[in-house]
Homo-oligomer: A and B are copies of this chain.
Amino acid sequence: MTVATQLRIVIIEDDRDIAIAWEKLLNDSGHIICTGNYNSVEAARNIIFRYPPDVILMDIGLPGMDGITFTREIKEKNITTEILICTVFHDHENIFNALKAGAGGYILKSAPPDEMLHAIETIYAGGAPIDVQIARKVLTYFRPEKKELIAPLTRREEEIINRVSKGYRNKEIAELMHISAETVRTHIRNIYSKLQANTRMEAVNKYFGPGKR
């Protein structure tokens, strides 16, 4: 923004044709310069750790180490390079793994050229370019199940399972709620029968969902 500094980008993509097309697209843009073009993580690793570019345009399906694993490795080393995943994969597995690994954006190879340029600018500016179809999948992550199928718990039971999930013991819950520990036990047993659980952990998992583990 301030100066006519060029954005330094490294491409990691094993499809020769695509890699070349990208490089040309980027270099032709004027303010972006492609400082490296590798067909595998192994080929790119050293130079990237030594001279981190501003952005890495990375594929997921690569020979040897995959792009997601490399993304994780880079972020674990606290390298500030932004990573833009550009791939054909649009399944939950790959998307979430990439985002969890620390990818700063996720677009599809089918995206038009100008969208990719825009994505690169966006990611460097601190935004997160995410394909709208991908974004939709990310959203569903926030409201997973329509878990109204589970037997509804009463107010009291809800209060208790909440505390159980936080790690409180029956005795502690009893004190917090000013009731007898026996009553807590009774409520928990009712919860178990409703959720078909036999242990606290089971009940918590069934009620709140398996959790992000």
Contacts and interface: CB of A to CB of B under 8 A. Distances in A.
B166 A205 contact: yes
Interface residues of A, number: 43
Contacts of A164: 201
Given A142-B96, A213-B162, A167 B205 contact: yes
Q: What number of copies of this chain does the assembly contain?
A: 2
A208 B205 contact: no
Interface in A139-156: 139, 142-143
Interface in A189-213: 197, 199-202, 204-205, 208-213
Interface of A: 75, 96, 99-104, 122, 125-133, 135-136, 138-139, 142-143, 162, 164-167, 169, 197, 199-202, 204-205, 208-213
Rank and list the top 8 A-B pairs by shortest CB-CB distance, nearest first. A127-B132, A128-B135, A167-B202, A167-B201, A128-B136, A99-B142, A100-B142, A211-B211
